[in-house]
Chain A
Amino acid sequence: MADSQTASLEPITAADGTPLKKKLAQALFRSRVRAVSLVVPLFAFVMASFVIPILALMWQGVYNDRFSSHMPNLTEQLTVWDGLTEPNEKMYEALVADLETARADRTIGRAATRVNQEFPGTRSLFTSTARKAKKLKPPFKESVIKANKKWSNIEVWQAMKITSQDLTPGFYATALDGRYTVDQGFVRQDENRQIYVKLFWRTMLISATVMGLCLLLGYPVAYLLATLPLRASNLLMIMVLLPFWTSLLVRTTAWIAILQSQGVINDLMVFVGITADDARFSLIYNMTGTIIAMTHILLPFMILPLYSVMKTIPPSYMRAARSLGATPTMAFIKVYMPQTIPGIGAGGLLVFILAIGYYITPALVGGQDGQLISNMIAYHMQKSLNWSLAAALGGILLAGVLVLYWAYDKVIGIDNMKLG
């Protein structure tokens, strides 16, 4: 009896004598390593060329050392200053010293630009005082204010205190039409300087409109494609896939040719007599143009998921509903439509995600009121060179997109994404 017990306790071994459990674990480990090593090259590549660059930019949205690196003495003084009392002589002394070295290094422009982002109109104050910095004599407080009396404005000093902090919520505050202040924390920007929140809303509104239009136009087409015999539907599918494969810029160019005031649509309308020659519709370089062109460009992204879902719905369901007494409309709404909801979700989310970050089409056909948040990000990256603000705006947009992406993954699953 004792013998059989020891036998059952003794682990089962593989051919070479190692316990089977260990052997299995080794095999599993090996196949894991094999799978991981296949993925690692791409993962490393995506990390290095995509994820890290974006994280580096996002870091700029909360971290900016332009001021502190160019004005070290003043930064030291500003850190101990409470931000409310009258600036003291020591701070003025540090200011003059820093302005002098910054002018000698030719870095004054950078520090001045940084403060200007926080408190518009101060750039020239810095550059002009820096020019005189060498000649300023103690007591510095008086001589600096004499050089330019704007220095007596405590708001300038408060703005400098804000900018002297490397880690700052200021850019996110600006991106949400607010301001970060020393004494009151976050305050809302004046009414006439609020642009970004409005732009975010407009981006959402345009994206939602485009999504709605895509659904409205895509649903009947997908239904037709799914119910027609394969030969006919394959032929019609070309009409969906050809625009999908055609260059984005080609399609945008084509829409310019069609929609412009001397374009095809307007010519046709004048010809038919809907409108007078001198009262042509302005269909492009405004929000209408953006919506039309974006709907066209994103429509295949709606049709394809809808089609692949509708393809799996057996036509007998509808027939069963009819035979049980439902009218065609009722059968369609009560029986068919609920089954297409996964397709509607997949297509709608995809279109919305793509629309919300659109840049090229609005930039080319959007005019003034058809611009989206992406265009503002591009503006701050390329024109105003306020990269931190661009990063903050991008961070908010990215957060929104990632939430939608997460929802997409939860609802549809990214591995179920299909192309063409």
Chain B
Amino acid sequence: MAKLPPYTSTGEYIWHYVYRSICGLIFLFLIMPIIVVLPLSFNVEPYFSFTKGMLNFDPTAYSLRWYEDILRNGMKAPDAPFDWAWLADTWNNGQWIRAIRNSFFIGICATLLSTALGTLAAIGLSRSEMPYRRLVMSILISPMIVPLIITAAGMFYFYSQVHLSQTYLGVIMAHAVLGTPFVIITVTATLVGFDKSLVRASQSLGAGAVTTFRKVQMPLIIPGVISGGLFAFITSFDEVVAVLFLASPEQRTIPRQMWSGIREQISPTILAVATLLVILSIILLTVLELLRRRSERLRGITSS
């Protein structure tokens, strides 16, 4: 913490600490929901609130039953002995397991689609020769801006006419289109600082367009591509409105399952899933930060 200069007056002194405490409270507001979820997911009671035992740190008030429930929920024989058959049962019939599988499958497919298309488009858009650059860019970014409910309703209406609703392909297309703006924004950001003379240097040394792209451009924009891909993945992973409109029960994703969990049968299993998702987002955040540092190092920008 920076030391206050010696000429600080008493009023400023007080204000300094008042201001710091206000900021502390705002940070608490930001982080509190995430912190509250963690202990509650270990609640032995089927409630969303802290019990007396939990506050007294009574070990019997904590349990892993809601984590087990993630596996057991929807199984044909949840109480069977733990063996391969049990695992196969949960893999095939577990409601949450199915949702997790769907989320990853849809998320990965959508990410690949949007990253591939988005990266190409961002490279094209960053060229000054691109006609109607601004207009095209604003159309391609618009999926991020148009209210999700309108997007979802439009897709529901149109996709059901072309038999895409209630299919995996429909959901993947919807998620891919919602993820592309993030890819475009992040890749464009890495291309802004891109030195064009590098391409010319490589060409003058005899490299073809493909070699230049692979050996010179790609390594420099790859951090942007990966972080765009991560954004696209988390967008798909977190998306529920399009799934609500487009998916059949077969394509239920984690957020969709949580949605019906909150609306219909509120149980701490949701909190257990939420905890796992928080851990996932911590991992993603770490990866993103490492990428950012690598990108800065590659460009020679040292973080002071």
- Chain A interface residues (CB < 8 Å from chain B): 28, 31-32, 34-39, 41-43, 45-46, 49-58, 60, 217, 220-221, 224, 228-230, 232, 236, 238-243, 245-258, 260, 262-264, 267, 296, 299-300, 328, 353, 356-360, 364, 374, 377-378, 381-382, 387, 390-391, 394, 397-398, 401, 405, 409, 414-415, 417-420
Contact = CB atoms under 8 A, between A and B. Distances in A.
Given A37-B124, A398-B146, A256 B262 contact: yes
Given A28-B129, A236-B27, A254 B180 contact: no
Contact of B155 (A49, A242, A420): A49
The listed residue with most B CB atoms (<10 A of its CB), out of A38, A41, A387, A391, is: A38
Given A38-B121, A54-B146, A249-B255, A220 B49 contact: no
A256 B37 CA distance: 10
19 contacts: A37-B124, A43-B139, A50-B142, A52-B158, A56-B154, A56-B161, A217-B26, A236-B27, A241-B285, A247-B255, A247-B274, A248-B238, A248-B240, A253-B274, A254-B37, A263-B49, A328-B12, A391-B153, A417-B185
B138 A405 contact: yes
Contacts of B15: 328
A228 B23 CA distance: 12
A246 B27 contact: no
Contact of A242 (B121, B159, B285): B285
A249 B238 contact: yes
Contacts of B137: 414-415
Given A232-B1, A299-B30, A359 B147 contact: yes
Interface stretch (B83-91, B200-208, B275-283): B275-283
B151 interface: yes
Contacts of B34: 242-243, 246, 250-251, 254
Given A232-B1, A238-B285, A394 B149 contact: yes
Majority SS at the chain B contact face:
helix
Given A232-B1, A239-B27, A364 B149 contact: no
Interface string B131-159: 10010111111110111111101111111
B245 interface: yes
**Listed residue (A232, A249, A263, A267) with the most chain B CB atoms within 10 angstroms of its CB:** A249
Contacts of B32: 254, 258
A311 B266 CA distance: 43
A238 B34 CA distance: 12
Nearest to A54: B154
A230 B259 CA distance: 39
Given A220-B26, A253-B37, A414-B138, A401 B19 contact: no
B198 interface: no
Contacts of A405: 138, 142, 145
Nearest to B35: A254
Contact of A224 (B23, B120, B189): B23
B177 interface: yes
B78 to A, nearest CB: 24
Interface residues of B, number: 96
Closest 10 CB pairs of A and B: A357-B147, A38-B124, A254-B33, A53-B158, A54-B154, A42-B121, A39-B124, A53-B154, A57-B154, A250-B274
Contacts of A240: 30
Given A39-B140, A405-B142, 11 more contacts: A41-B120, A46-B143, A46-B180, A247-B258, A249-B240, A249-B262, A250-B277, A299-B29, A356-B147, A377-B149, A391-B153
B40 interface: yes
Nearest to A56: B158
A133 to B, nearest CB: 31
A299 B270 CA distance: 24
B130 A39 contact: yes
Contacts of A32: 129-131
A211 B189 CA distance: 26
A43 B156 contact: no
A72 to B, nearest CB: 23
A164 B6 CA distance: 82
A36 B128 CA distance: 11
B157 A57 contact: yes
Contacts of A236: 27
A264 B124 contact: no
A367 B83 CA distance: 45
B304 interface: yes
Nearest to B239: A248
A251 to B, nearest CB: 5
A54 B150 contact: yes
A217 B125 CA distance: 36
Interface string B6-49: 00000010010001101100110111111011001000000111
Contacts of A50: 142-143, 151, 154-155, 177
